[in-house]
Amino acid sequence: MIELEYTSLSELRGPLAVVSGVSKVGWDEFATIRLSSGETRHGLVLEVDRDLALVQVLEGTSGMAGDRTRVAFAGSPLRVPVGPGWLGRVCDGRGRPLDGGPAVFGASTAPAAGFPLNPTWRVPPAEPVLTGVSAIDLLTTLVRGQKIALFSAAGLPHLELAAQIAAQSHAGGEPFSVVFAAMGLTHADAASVRDALELRSAAGELVLLLNLADDPVIERVLTPRIALTVAEHLAFEMGRHVLVVMADMTSYCEALREVSAARGEIPARRAYPGYLYSDLASLYERCGRVRGRPGSLTLLPVLTMPAGDITHPVPDLTGYITEGQIVLSPQADLYPPIDALSSLSRLMRRGVGEGRTRPEHMDLAAQTLAALARARQAGELAEIVGAGALSATDRGHLDLARAFATHLLTQRADEERTLEETFDRAWRVVSVLPRRELAMLGEDALDACYREGG
Amino acid sequence: MAGVTRVNGPLVEVDGLGGAAMFELVDVGGIPGEIVALTGDHATVQAYEYTGGLEPGARVVSLGGPLSARLGPHLLGGIFDGLLRPLDGTEMWLKPSPLRAPGRRLWPFRPLVPAGTPVAPGTPIGSVTGSGALPYLVLSPGGTVTAVRPAGGYAADAAVASVSGRKVTMEWLWPVRRGLPYRGRLDEQVPLITGQRVIDLLLPVRRGGTVAVPGGFGTGKTVLLQQIAKWCDADVVVYIGCGERGNEMADVLAELRELADPRTGGRLLDRTVVIANTSNMPMMAREASVYTGVTVAEHFRDMGYHAVVIADSTSRWAEARREFASRGGALPAEEGYPADLASAIAAFYERAGLVTTLGGEPGSVTIIGAVSPPGGDLTEPVTTHTQRFVRTVWNLERALAYARHYPAVSWNGSFSRDGAALAGWHVRNGRRDWVAARTRVAGLLAEADRLSALAELVGAAAFPARERVVLLAGRLLREGLLQQSALSAADAYCAPERTGRLTSQILDVVDECLQLAEQGMPAAEIETRDFSDVLRAKERP
Ligand SMILES: Nc1ncnc2c1ncn2[C@@H]1O[C@H](COP(=O)(O)OP(=O)(O)OP(=O)(O)O)[C@@H](O)[C@H]1O
Ligand SMILES: [Mg+2]
């Protein structure tokens, strides 16, 4: 194909460039932009109007001049090479190597935007991904093919936890890979994520895409799409169980907002574009399991809630799409600071129990949560009337909450707990209460596992 | 020749479409779209597929006629996209494709009237089986039957009869944005039994009624709507996944396939039409999906059936309209929504109703729509306008869901404008205590709410015994009656008889406690009595 190059940029505004005089340029096409300095940039067509093409420039327009820039269009929306060549690689937010290796090559390519998965081909998620993090495995189990968000706030160790999950997760011996898409991370954060994932990378089980805080902002629009395209291939063509971690989605949404503002679009809540829900869904819905294929794609978007506000559009719309959330909240000196009562894995019930984890799993999780809820009430009451005025049962529940925090929740960032160990600890925690208080647990399970006095 | 001039996502502008009509279907470069604005021969088209790669100059062809639903025997038990294209038996990845006629198969047809019979419009002239649990009726366009085929297998588009010279086929097309005709509206008040106690007792919906279900994320909209899709006493359920999750669609399909319909013994799926336009499928087909869904329901209504449309979530439909309007440069009204938001919502819910069909039978369409308010804010435009136009609102409260009180239907923040009339129906149908029990439950809940607000200020210990028993009654009613787990085999569905029984059991216990209080028993002593029996009654089949 002869590449036509256009040299007339009629307008430059924020991350946008208008190329005039074009013909046969399609919507959402990929563009390559050459500056007079020799530098190459990339773009996506946001709109075509007769002979004008509106291009969002991933690397930004700074330094671009109207008359000395050449733009070529690819003839189709962006395609990404896919295949096992990605495993073990570290790349930037657009998929270019950062590890000194050659460009990633794949035997085939797939469109970065992906295609929607026919709902009749989906299989309801039904097996666990074990993270080795007790509070998650016990109370908000990840299920293969699920999307579940990690909600956090500034200053909390969500990246540390995301990296720990990415480093430790497994699917009980079946082939497992992690695709980690970092957006807007600081160099220090990125370095610690790389450290935590070093073994996984060396084992050829990791794809790391890094868009850092000082990398081009608009490039972030592409990073999760490349990650998901690579992951879909690993999962649905190569039969691997793939966990995709996307951090930080708040930075991704800010990039979208920036483009939207530059286009002068009518904003919805907090100046985010009205299509934020659909845009996020076009990413989050790429998880799942498919009939007749062994692999699965599980998605863990990580986001910081601005000012800790869960009604902010980014967490709110994420919550409207994901199948549950793991919520972090400030808890003095505690890692991981998971707020068990606000967290929920909506698909857990299908992924745990006999033959998957342990037969009493659902009951034990429900009992633990009910007891923690009661402890929270008792704690609030104690603040009003004083701990001395509490009933023995309420005091027992406060003891349980303490045991939960020390024996189950608290865990080192490099400590991987087996399911046996997690259950062992969980039984010790509930055994702090007298047996008659454990109405949600079956007699058989209690006979086998309850131990007087915790 | 007509060609594309501008592409902005799903918005495509076209020149050279002289003579085209508003809402006409067109093919733009190989994908379907609908004309939504016309100025001279310049048209704005909403495209029903991803427009990646579509370029100015691409060919545009009119497809003649508006977006229409193919109404036929293939619908029951099937799963379709927002344009009513079958999803079953198609490719794993959904790639943009033009509208195509479906594959042909033969359906067993049986004539119901002999040739020579005069048949008014809407009367059945034949019946088709093998499509779900119900007979699918082929209705007369009106006239005299000039010929009718003998019983046998025929293709859906083959003539099975001719009425006053007009060919009659099992399937035909109807424009989705226009309601199917009926003879008149009926104002009879018959409840749609949902099997959910809080609804059937306190906040009932009538056949032909309209319900909005607003609630923030995770408050239980989908679970509640799926419960109703499974257990309500309708003949046909049209379940529209409008911009929601793919996994949920897989889940509801798997369940409907497995579960038996308690009334027919067949599969629940066989009385259901599933329309799945998940959030990652094209946005404008999502906009169309609520109309295709309600058109399908009207079609079954016209056969004299009671149909229910469940739309999860109408907010995603409204957002698709907003998105398109803003790309077209329309002046926004509230929160960026187009100015016709309220009238579009009103018109959609207006298609519900209990009617006398053209054939003279009663039939109904009930519409139940989830609403997903951003940030759980109930003052946002989609929620507020929807509440104006529906007869029933089941408000799902985050605080209840957080406390794992499911279904998290707020008993004080919801309403049913048909509540009293429908309670009267139960009394007329053999449940003599229904009205009294309902009034009593509502009264106790309201008083308990008032008292617990007060208790937060002064502490319940300060209350006299009777008031403390009312607080206790509130708890017993909430835990023993209103809470109903969708996961419990014994309790997921609760027939009205059982709801009545559980209610009177709890009210009896409350009366007993009130009496004890009156006789001077200290409140603390009453409160520590063992209520586990009455609280667990709902778990016993
Ligand atoms: N009736 C119920 N019985 C038992 N659990 C329930 C019930 N209703 C809701 N839940 C619990 O709440 C979770 C969320 O419910 P659901 O998916 O219906 O929320 P939603 O309001 O549809 O949320 P979204 O707006 O995000 O789609 C369920 O996964 C389930 O764990
Ligand atoms: Mg839902």
Query: Mutation test of the interface with chain B: which of A25, A115, A118, A436, choosing the one with the most B Cβ atoms within 10 A?
Result: A118
Phi, psi of A330, deg, nearest 5: -60, 120
CA distances from A252 to A249, A313, A438 (A): 5, 13, 44
Helix (H, G, I), strand (E, B) or coil at A404: helix
Residue B314 Cβ inside 6 Å of ligand 1? The answer reads: no
Residues B57 and A24: beta-carbon distance below 8 Å:
yes
| pLDDT above 70: percentage of residues in chain B | 100
Dist CA A82 CA A280 (whole Å): 22
Strand pairing class (B210-214; A176-185):
unpaired
Query: What global pTM score does this model have?
Result: 0.95
Protein residue with its CA nearest to atom 31 in ligand 1: A346
Minimal Cα–Cα distance from B13 to chain A, Å? 9
Give the range among A105-119, B318-332, B401-415 with minimum mean pLDDT.
Answer: B318-332
Dist CA B428 CA A172 (whole Å): 59
Helical spans, DSSP H, in A10-157: 134-139
Residues B283 and B10: beta-carbon distance below 8 Å:
yes
**pLDDT of B311 higher than 90:** yes
Mean pLDDT computed over A113-135? 96
Dist CA A304 CA A185 (whole Å): 12
pLDDT given for residue B369 in this prediction: 98
User: ipTM strictly over 0.90?
Assistant: yes
CA distances from A233 to A29, B240, B295 (A): 22, 30, 39
Helix crossing, B434-458 with B465-477: angle to 10°? 120
Phi, psi of A101, deg, nearest 5: -80, 175
pLDDT given for residue A116 in this prediction: 96
Q: Do B374 and A146 touch (CB under 8 A)?
A: no
Provide the Cα torsion A65, A69, A75, A77; round to 10°: -40
> What does the pLDDT look like over B426-435, one tens digit per residue?
999 999 999 9
> What does the pLDDT look like over B208-242, one tens digit per residue?
999 999 999 999 999 999 999 999 999 999 999 99
Q: Do B53 and A29 touch (CB under 8 A)?
A: yes
Q: What's the CA angle centered on B171, arms B169 and B172, to 5 degrees?
A: 95
Dist CA A409 CA B342 (whole Å): 49
Phi, psi of B330, deg, nearest 5: -65, 150
> What does the pLDDT look like over A65-86, one tens digit per residue?
877 899 999 999 999 999 999 9
**pLDDT of B14 higher than 60:** yes
Structural domains of chain A, with CATH? 5-77 (2.40.10.170), 80-349 (3.40.50.12240), 361-449 (no CATH)
pLDDT given for residue A255 in this prediction: 93
- Any idea which ligand is nearest the CA of B315? 1
Q: Where are the domains of chain B?
A: 3-67, 100-171, 184-418, 434-539
Give the confidence band of A2 by pLDDT, cuts at 50, 70, 90.
low
State which ligand 1 atom lies nearest to the alpha carbon of B248: 17
Q: Do A145 and B247 touch (CB under 8 A)?
A: yes
pLDDT given for residue B483 in this prediction: 96
Dist CA B200 CA B105 (whole Å): 41
Q: Compute the mean pLDDT over every residue in chain A, rounded to the nearest whole number.
A: 94
Nearest to B302 by CA among B417, B522, B138: B138
Tell me the CATH number of domain B100-171, given options 2.40.50.100, 3.80.30.20, 3.40.50.720, 3.40.50.300. Answer: 2.40.50.100
CATH architecture of the domain formed by B184-418? 3-Layer(aba) Sandwich (3.40)
Tell me the CA–centroid distance for residue B541 and ligand 2, in Å.
28
Minimal Cα–Cα distance from A203 to chain B, Å? 31
Dist CA A296 CA B254 (whole Å): 18
Mean pLDDT computed over B160-165? 95
Residue B402 Cβ inside 6 Å of ligand 1? The answer reads: no
Dist CA A159 CA A248 (whole Å): 9
Residues A219 and A94: beta-carbon distance below 8 Å:
yes
Phi, psi of B97, deg, nearest 5: -150, 155
Those residues with Cβ within 8 angstroms of residue B412's Cβ, 6 or more apart along the chain or in another chain = B445, B446, B449
Burial class from Cβ neighbours inside 10 Å (0-12, 13-18, 19+) for residue B42 reads middle
> What does the pLDDT look like over B248-298, one tens digit per residue?
999 999 999 999 888 888 899 999 999 999 999 998 999 999 999 999 999
Q: Do B336 and A266 touch (CB under 8 A)?
A: yes
pLDDT given for residue A263 in this prediction: 86
Say how far residue A411 (Cα) sits from the centre of its chain: 21
Strand pairing class (B272-277; B210-214):
unpaired
Helix crossing, B314-327 with B283-301: angle to 10°? 130
State which ligand 1 atom lies nearest to the alpha carbon of B407: 1
Nearest to A284 by CA among A261, A302, A260: A302
Those residues with Cβ within 8 angstroms of residue A357's Cβ, 6 or more apart along the chain or in another chain = A128, A130, A137, A141, A351, A419
pLDDT given for residue B404 in this prediction: 87
CB pairs < 8 Å spanning A and B: 179
Fold of B434-539: 1.10.1140
**pLDDT of A1 higher than 50:** no
Domain B3-67 coded CATH 2.40.30.20:
yes
Residue-wise DSSP of A419-442: HHHHHHHHHHHHTTS-GGG-TTS-
Q: What's the CA angle centered on B127, arms B122 and B130, to 5 degrees?
A: 135
| pLDDT above 90: percentage of residues in chain B | 82
pLDDT given for residue B1 in this prediction: 79
Say how many residues make up chain A.
454
SS3 content of chain B, % helix, strand, coil (to 5): 35, 25, 40
Tell me the residue type at A121.
W
- Any idea which ligand is nearest the CA of B371? 1
Residue B483 Cβ inside 6 Å of ligand 1? The answer reads: no
pLDDT given for residue B98 in this prediction: 84
Mean pLDDT computed over B65-71? 94
What letter does residue B135 receive in the DSSP assignment? P
> What does the pLDDT look like over B386-421, one tens digit per residue?
999 999 999 999 999 988 899 999 999 999 999 999
Mean pLDDT computed over B43-50? 93
Phi, psi of B39, deg, nearest 5: -135, 115
Helix (H, G, I), strand (E, B) or coil at B407: coil
Dist CA B480 CA B534 (whole Å): 7
Minimal Cα–Cα distance from A191 to chain B, Å? 33
Using a CB-CB distance cutoff of 8 angstroms, which residues of chain B are in contact with residue A324? 218
Say how far residue B479 (Cα) sits from the centre of its chain: 28
Q: Do A349 and B254 touch (CB under 8 A)?
A: no
Those residues with Cβ within 8 angstroms of residue B386's Cβ, 6 or more apart along the chain or in another chain = B212, B214, B314, B345, B349, B369, B371
Helix crossing, B314-327 with A276-284: angle to 10°? 120
> What does the pLDDT look like over A403-414, one tens digit per residue?
999 999 999 999
Residues A208 and A199: beta-carbon distance below 8 Å:
no
**pLDDT of A3 higher than 70:** no
What letter does residue A85 receive in the DSSP assignment? G
Phi, psi of A74, deg, nearest 5: -80, -15
Residue-wise DSSP of B207-267: TT-EEEEE--TTSSHHHHHHHHHHHS--SEEEEEEES--HHHHHHHHHHHHHSBPTTTSSB
Using a CB-CB distance cutoff of 8 angstroms, which residues of chain B are in contact with residue A311? 374-377
Dist CA A119 CA B278 (whole Å): 8
Tell me the residue type at A254.
E
Q: How many CB atoms sit inside 10 A of residue B319's CB?
A: 26
Residues B393 and B214: beta-carbon distance below 8 Å:
yes
Sign of the torsion angle spanned by Cα atoms A74, A78, A79, A84: positive
State which ligand 1 atom lies nearest to the alpha carbon of B408: 8
Minimal Cα–Cα distance from A414 to chain B, Å? 32
Nearest to B281 by CA among B40, B436, B79: B79
> What does the pLDDT look like over B451-508, one tens digit per residue?
988 887 777 778 899 999 999 999 999 999 999 999 988 999 999 999 999 999 999 9
Residue written as token pair 């949560």: A369
Tell me the residue type at A442.
G
**Nearest CB partner across the interface for B79, out of A120, A313, A317:** A120
Protein residue with its CA nearest to atom 25 in ligand 1: B217
Mean pLDDT computed over B42-70? 93
Dist CA A175 CA A168 (whole Å): 13
Residue in B closest to A314 by C-alpha: B375
Mean pLDDT computed over A365-372? 94
Burial class from Cβ neighbours inside 10 Å (0-12, 13-18, 19+) for residue A291 reads exposed
Q: Do A124 and B250 touch (CB under 8 A)?
A: yes
CA distances from A45 to A31, A72, A110, A166, B8 (A): 7, 11, 18, 34, 9
Those residues with Cβ within 8 angstroms of residue B154's Cβ, 6 or more apart along the chain or in another chain = B106, B107, B109, B160, B170
pLDDT given for residue B154 in this prediction: 96
Q: What's the CA angle centered on B88, arms B84 and B94, to 5 degrees?
A: 75
Residues A302 and A336: beta-carbon distance below 8 Å:
no
Residue-wise DSSP of A185-253: E-HHHHHHHHHHTHHHHHTT-EEEEEEETTS-SGGGGTHHHHHHHHHHIIIIIT--EEEEEEETHHHHH
| pLDDT above 70: percentage of residues in chain A | 99
**What burial letters (b/e) apply to A110-142, b meaning 16+ CB within 10 Å?**
bbbbbbbbbbbbbbbbbbbbbbbbbbbbbbbbb
Q: Do A373 and B280 touch (CB under 8 A)?
A: no
Dist CA B325 CA B8 (whole Å): 12
Those residues with Cβ within 8 angstroms of residue A231's Cβ, 6 or more apart along the chain or in another chain = A177, A179, A207, A242, A244, A286, A297
